[in-house]
Amino acid sequence: MATLERFISIPYHGERGEDCWAWGGSNSGATAWVLCDGASESYDATGWAETLAMSIVDGILNFERVPRTGRRNLQKLLELWIHRARRIYQSNNKNQLSADDWLSRASQDRGSWATLLAIRISPGAQALTVWTVGDTELFVLDHYRDVLHLPILEREAFSLTPSLIGNSKQATIPQCRIWNLQLQRLKQPRLILCTDALAAFMLAHHERERSLWWEFITKAPLKTVIDELAQTRETGALATDDCTLLELRP
């Protein structure tokens, strides 16, 4: 079973920030991890990101109950989980969403939006299924070396308008990108989930520098890491946005 070795949160939008994550484990030993980055322009970025993350984790943990024929269409499964998240969000926010003053209505009409990075780690922690919508990034490391990262391959590919999942049932669900990965050949695998500001900062460095940063981020005292990243954000080298990171050890 994969374990959480380090969690870093450096909010920028309010005290809590707009990044939300969730996880869970099944009786079989599989684990699910989800990180969502709420869009700042949203009506309720944090609330929607949190509901989406929790609902997707629940869907992944019930993956084994889906008939084998249904497991083949991973995009369809994701769409079903998103529809469920939308129903839960609407139910939990009935009073708030029924406000009739024009300012609230105008805000609600913009909707709430979030990215998605969802991972199912197999019971033996040797295989991953990854769903992505938007620019929340997964780095697969062997010790501190970056073996691969997805869905964004280079810093220049980050966009001001990434694909997002909306809370409204009228909003089109974007096509997700799906990977099936194997970890057997890695001696010391680490999985790093992080939101776009920190991901872009890491991808701005060449492989050797990036390895040194990963060693610092995962090994140094947590307060030292947070202080260093916060200072880096103040200098402008790290974008002024929420920064969230989860380090998993399969």
**Overall residue count recorded for the chain in this entry:** 250
Largest CA distance in the chain: 58
Yes or no: say if 18 and 46 are a contact pair by the CB < 8 Å rule. Answer: yes
Q: How many CB atoms lie within 10 A of CB 247?
A: 20
Q: Which distant-in-sequence residues (6+ apart) come within 8 Å of 25 by Cβ?
A: 1, 31, 32, 61
Domains and their CATH numbers in the chain? 3-249 (3.60.40.10)
- 162-193 confidence digits (pLDDT tens): 999 999 988 999 999 999 999 999 999 999 99
pTM, entire model: 0.93
Tokens representing residue 182 in the block: 């194997």
- 136-161 confidence digits (pLDDT tens): 999 999 999 999 999 999 999 999 88
Q: What are phi and psi of 179, to 5 degrees?
A: -130, 145
Q: Once rounded to an integer, what is the mean pLDDT over residues 73-86?
A: 95
